[in-house]
Chains A and B, each alone.
Chain A
Amino acid sequence: MIELSHVSKRFGEETAVDDISLRVPKGKFCALVGTSGCGKSTTLRMINRLIEHSEGDIILDGQAIEVYDPVKLRRRIGYVIQHTGLFPHWNVARNIGLVPRLLKWSAADVQGRVEELMDLLGLPVGEFAHKYPHQLSGGQAQRVGVARALAADPDILLMDEPFGALDPITREKLQDELAKIQARLHKTVVFVTHDMDEALKLADHLVVMREGRIVQQGSPLALLQQPADSFVESLLGGLERGLKQAALTRVKDHMTSMGPTLPAQSRIPADFSLRQALSMMLRDHSDRLTVVDQHDVPIGELSLRRIIKEAQLDKGSARE
């Protein structure tokens, strides 16, 4: 668990982070979102003591971070940065095995772990283990970066705009894989990004920062339903907000049981999002969809009126 209470950071006269408090429970995914220079990277880097905070308390697993030896602390925390920071003179396997080797694991253990991780990240060992970073594509390099961060099986993973330099298609693919890995490994993740869609897609807990302060924090849905001010609303995409919210809601949570009328022609799997459902309605000129399970067996239906009504209800509940 990571807990920051009333933490500030000053560089000389300038205050980079101003009295922020936040809590990331064990196994949760927290995203720090904001424009450039809002202090989100500084916040992240205070957690593994790359930067020492000026005021307040940062507590990891019940202990103030000052108690830990900084070098040992960093070996226990995974860290991924935008430009990967892979060592250009080491091959992929050696890069991934860095922290286990710093922790003096045996050579066999290191090798086993490296192969396991390359497997997890979809990098075939035979093809990639002996390549050097300059021989990799951006997406492959960042997979190595993530594997390196996970190598010593840390409980905490810090990610600083890890996908910021990738093209949209690679970025989306890596986001999906990160979500899958997180679903399996349940790390405590703090993820810095300026891309709100990325944050909405991945995070359990969203923290919006501006000029060193936290403007709003909460679940993605709560933020979408009730942005604190126009800044958060503009980050959330203004008019697009409704669709973003719909993207976070599953069809199966809003479907009704099969009605007495004939089932609609268009079929949608139950684990798709409401956004996809709306898109399908527009495409097929239909205000009703048949919801099916993974075996394509109808299990319920979804109507346009229902979606709109639910949105109203959600908003009402968020207000309370």
Chain B
Amino acid sequence: MSLLDALPTPRLRWDGRHPNTVLVSLSLIMLAAFWGLDVVSMAPNRIVQGTSYGALEALGWPGALLATLLLSFIGILAWQPSHRHYRALLAAVMTLMALMPVGLIASSYLLIDPELPQARLGLGATYWVVLFVLLLCLIEIRLRLKLTRLWPTLLLCGVALVWWLCATLWLDSLALVQEFKARDRQFLRAIGQHVTLVGAAVSISVVVGLVLAMLMRRYARLQKGAFAVLNFLQTIPSLALFGLLLAPLAWLAANVPLLGRLGVSGIGTMPALIALIAYSLLPMVRNTYIALEEVSPDTLEAAKGMGMRAGQRFWQVRLPLALPVLLEGVRITTVQAIGLTAVAALIGAGGLGTFIFQGLGQAAMDMVLLGALPILMLALVVDAGLGALAEALRPGGTR
């Protein structure tokens, strides 16, 4: 009997008698945030600083009571966790998330004077904290119920749909919605630009990364030099690299007419794309190289022994086995690129970063949110999606 078998593994304490301290403390944090922090703020127009309201004023007695009950419910269920309780907990978390916009609707009825069409409602700290902690609860429940990432992602998409519906139909007074309505065309274009830029940069770096990694495996001398260059690139701040590419590209556009006609210019998409690719190459090449190298030599030896040719060994053995790690590289690269593209807005590449920097410039925080929130969600969705894909592609399914 090995020592490992004999150890009572603390990570797998599944017996129902043991309270789930994680969920209990998360529930307490949410209760404290709900009663201690501001739920919403209300301003008569865009310029004036809003006044903050607590739970009672913002939701009224019935609303505050319902929220308190639901939040305590999480803690109570978690006290004696069982499979059934975890399912109930999942339902409670989802209900709370879905009820959030309803709470905002209630606040807008309670607080906003219909005489003031300019009045706007801002999300208070409570909403952010509770939303964040609810996501933590979701992660914890997912781990306990041993669900794959797919289900929570689908449920969250459902919740997002509810939010969207509420926002478009009943939440005209929400500051975020007002900011969006004022520039919805611009917003959709920005998302389009953002996704296109990320997509282009990632797909180019996937191809280049694969070729580079394969070259490195063939020419060992290339390996050290290439990694040194790629590592050095990462130490240059993204801000600077974007800036540094402005001048040479402007010069090229001015002096090589063909390139100018192809859309190369000093400002805008081109330098952003080049910088994005430069940053994306290191994680891409590193993961591709490791993925290809990591394949067990025994397996390859066996493949050789069975009489597979070099090409067959690569396409039928090495690549399929390397695929999950390779996808992991694509995931890291994409998530990083989504964030970096936001910075690219500074050199006129467009995208969601435009709202962030414009908002910062005008001290209009709701506009900043309009840029930052979609970026965050985009990153989370890509992370979950590619993570799920890598999990599904792992030989033998999920672990």
Contact = CB atoms under 8 A, between A and B. Distances in A.
Nearest to A209: B1
B1 A38 contact: yes
Interface in A14-47: 16, 36-42, 45
B6 interface: yes
Contacts of B10: none
Contacts of A42: 1, 6
A160 B15 contact: no
B1 A41 contact: yes
A75 to B, nearest CB: 20
B3 A51 contact: no
A36 B3 contact: no
B1 A36 contact: yes
A181 B2 CA distance: 27
Contact of B2 (A12, A36, A38, A51): A36
Nearest to A51: B6
Contacts of A11: 8
Contact of A16 (B2, B3, B6, B15): B6
A82 B15 CA distance: 32
Which of B1, B2, B8, B15 has the largest count of A CB atoms less than 10 A from its CB? B1
A81 B6 contact: no
Nearest to B14: A12
A28 B15 CA distance: 41
A81 B7 CA distance: 14
Contacts of A40: 1
Interface residues of B, number: 7
A36 B1 CA distance: 4
A37 B3 contact: no
A49 to B, nearest CB: 13
Interface residues on A, range: 10 to 19
B5 interface: yes
Nearest to A35: B1
A81 B3 contact: yes
Contacts of B2: 36, 41
Interface in B1-46: 1-3, 5-6, 8, 15
A108 B3 CA distance: 35
A82 B2 CA distance: 9
A236 B51 CA distance: 85
A136 B2 CA distance: 23
A12 B15 CA distance: 8
B15 A41 contact: no
Contact of B1 (A12, A37, A81): A37
Which of B5, B6, B8 has the largest count of A CB atoms less than 10 A from its CB? B6
Contacts of B5: 37
Nearest to A160: B3
A235 to B, nearest CB: 16
A42 to B, nearest CB: 5
A181 B385 CA distance: 62
Contacts of B3: 41, 81-82, 160
Contacts of B8: 11, 51
Interface in B58-109: none
B353 to A, nearest CB: 47
Given A11-B8, A16-B6, A45-B6, A39 B15 contact: no
A38 B2 CA distance: 11
Contacts of B15: 12
Contacts of A16: 6
Interface string B180-194: 000000000000000
Contacts of A39: 1
Interface string B287-310: 000000000000000000000000
Interface string B196-223: 0000000000000000000000000000
Interface in A122-173: 160
A225 to B, nearest CB: 28
Interface in A152-204: 160
Interface string A39-67: 11110010000010000000000000000
Interface string B274-294: 000000000000000000000
A50 to B, nearest CB: 8
A41 B1 CA distance: 6
A40 B3 CA distance: 11
B2 to A, nearest CB: 7
B10 to A, nearest CB: 12
B231 to A, nearest CB: 29
Nearest to B13: A12
Interface in A48-95: 51, 81-82
A81 B113 CA distance: 76
A40 B5 CA distance: 12
A45 B1 CA distance: 12
A10 B102 CA distance: 51
B77 to A, nearest CB: 22
B4 to A, nearest CB: 10
A3 to B, nearest CB: 22
Contacts of A37: 1, 5
A37 B3 CA distance: 10
Contacts of B6: 16, 41-42, 45, 51
A199 to B, nearest CB: 16
A12 to B, nearest CB: 7
A42 B8 CA distance: 11
Contacts of A12: 15
A42 B6 CA distance: 6
A309 B15 CA distance: 61
A40 to B, nearest CB: 7
Contacts of A82: 3
A161 to B, nearest CB: 9
Nearest to A194: B1
A307 B131 CA distance: 85
Nearest to A44: B6
Contacts of A36: 1-2
| Those 3 A-B pairs whose CB atoms lie nearest each other, nearest first | A41-B1, A37-B1, A42-B6
Interface of A: 11-12, 16, 36-42, 45, 51, 81-82, 160
22 contacts: A11-B8, A12-B15, A16-B6, A36-B1, A36-B2, A37-B1, A37-B5, A38-B1, A39-B1, A40-B1, A41-B1, A41-B2, A41-B3, A41-B6, A42-B1, A42-B6, A45-B6, A51-B6, A51-B8, A81-B3, A82-B3, A160-B3
Given A39-B1, A82-B3, 12 more contacts: A11-B8, A12-B15, A36-B1, A38-B1, A40-B1, A41-B1, A41-B2, A41-B3, A41-B6, A42-B6, A45-B6, A81-B3
